[in-house]
Amino acid sequence: METDLEAKLLKYLTLDRENWHRYNSLVGAKIERYSKEYQSIISSLPDYIKDYDPEVINLEEYSTWYCTISHPSISDTEASTIKAICHRVHQMDEPPQDDPVIRELSIRHWATTISDMAYEVTIGKRKMLEVEEAVQDYTQEMQHHEKQYSFVNNDALIFEQLEERKNADKYEWSIPELQLMMGSICKGDFIIVGSRPDGGKTTFLSTQAVHFAKQLTEGECVLWFNNEEAVSKVRSRQMQAALKWTTKEIEQDVGKSIESFQAKLGKGKIHIYDDNAMTVYDIANITRQVKPKIIIIDQLWKLGGLEKLQGIERFAKLAQFIRDLAKEHAPIIATTQLDGSADGVKYPNMGTLYNSKTSVQGEADCILTIGQDPEEGDIRYFRCPKNKLSYADPQFRSAGAAIKLDKEKAQLISLIGKQHRVN
């Protein structure tokens, strides 16, 4: 190995404790490839780290330890060579993430890690989901290594991008109040809908899914990820929304109801994926296969696939994952719970959102809350305490609206002229 490659490895290996623990075994396994001096330096590092446990390995301090404590009988010539190497590497700039040497080191690490984890799956010591997470982490790290940074100084390019967004497919909401508050949605938009249990989330989603589906052409679809209610109940609610029939009317002749539903929307306009053990990786993989125009996720906070993270950190990462998916594929509407402080509140704020102390608020383009007054039964109160959607009407962006909820037929009924505005 050439000296500059050896130097890059030594520099990267000693940047911090995490790098050392991650890569030292890989570097040590190939130690015979290195020059005699580098072999000696790397071979002695474990003892130094064991004795001093440094957060950052200062190679000049290490060289002093090496020559006086670890190798007290070293010749002056050898000592000078070791100190010169350590000084040169210490003064080096950190190798960039896209450096081929660093990238190869990372590939070796992940190949070893994933191989070991896969073996543990075969003997029952580990779950396959953990391997899937490791592969996802590897993919993200490789993307980081390969990422190219550029600065846009070309106004023509900026114009092209703005034109692309202007001409992107846009989808309208079912009633005027929602359209005024949020405007049409398009690829890249990430909307979180929060309410208390039995607050009307499924009815809301069903009415909007049906309305979006009517705006799609043949072969296009809304993709609904269900990990909450029974799938039969979800489909029944969608049929109610499309046909304006009660559950009793649908169940009188299920075959006829399905035919009427398909005639109304067209076949395959709303795909439902049902899995109580659904992970973020399932959602990503299915989205890439189906290529939907709109994505709906019922109960965002229940998604699996990030179990190595806990609490607030996990929920924040989950929100980031979904936002990236929206940028890549289609607008996403995801539901979550509001906490107990939202009970009986007409217009809940963002602080009532489940795990609101996370960065989920920052990841969402729009947060729509649904509140209610127990004494008003079928009235629901909609408000966007956060709203950065591009096509929202500025006058109504932060307004609130009272909307009638017909649970019997899964309908949202406009009360234009009677809405309560909140600023």
What are the angstrom distances between the C-alpha of 46 and each of 8, 37, 79, 279? 18, 16, 19, 39
Residue 361, domain CATH? 3.40.50.300
Tokens of 103: 């990238």
Are residues 237 and 90 part of one domain?
no
Tokens of 31: 């130690």
Residue 175's Cβ-count burial label (10 Å; 0-12, 13-18, 19+) is buried
Q: How far apart are CA 396 and CA 393, in angstroms?
A: 5
Gap between the terminal Cα atoms of the chain? 67
Tokens of 371: 């509140």
Are residues 365 and 240 part of one domain?
yes
Domain end, chosen from 95, 114, 134, is at 95
Domain end, chosen from 73, 95, 117, is at 95
Query: Is 214 inside any structural domain?
Result: yes
Strand ranges of the sheet holding 411-413, from the earlier edge strand across to the other edge: 270-274, 222-226, 294-298, 332-337, 190-195, 366-371, 379-387, 400-406, 411-413
Are residues 86 and 181 part of one domain?
no
Query: Is 156 inside any structural domain?
Result: no
Are residues 381 and 262 part of one domain?
yes
Are residues 376 and 270 part of one domain?
yes
Query: Is 196 inside any structural domain?
Result: yes
pLDDT tens, per residue, the chain with 423 residues:
445 778 888 888 888 777 777 777 777 666 666 788 888 898 888 889 888 888 778 999 999 999 999 999 999 999 999 999 999 999 988 877 667 777 777 787 788 888 888 989 898 888 887 888 788 777 766 665 555 545 556 676 667 667 776 777 899 999 999 999 999 999 999 999 999 988 889 899 999 999 999 999 999 999 999 987 888 889 999 999 999 999 999 999 999 999 999 999 988 999 999 988 888 888 988 999 999 999 999 988 888 877 776 777 778 788 888 998 998 899 999 998 888 888 989 998 888 887 655 556 778 899 999 999 988 889 999 999 999 998 888 888 888 999 999 988 999 999 875 544 443
262-301 residue pLDDT tens: 999 988 999 999 988 888 888 988 999 999 999 999 988 8
Are residues 125 and 86 part of one domain?
no
Query: Is 286 inside any structural domain?
Result: yes
Are residues 171 and 209 part of one domain?
yes
Are residues 207 and 126 part of one domain?
no
Q: How far apart are CA 41 and CA 319, in angstroms?
A: 44
Are residues 122 and 37 part of one domain?
no
Are residues 126 and 201 part of one domain?
no
Query: Is 229 inside any structural domain?
Result: yes
Contacts for 364 with CB less than 8 Å, ≥ 6 apart: 190, 191, 192, 319, 323, 386
Query: Is 39 inside any structural domain?
Result: yes
pTM: 0.66
Q: How far apart are CA 342 and CA 348, in angstroms?
A: 6
Are residues 89 and 112 part of one domain?
no
Partners of 336 in the β-ladder = 194
Q: Which domain holds residue 132?
A: 106-146
Q: How many domains does the chain have?
A: 3
Are residues 86 and 216 part of one domain?
no
Query: Is 154 inside any structural domain?
Result: no
Query: Is 369 inside any structural domain?
Result: yes
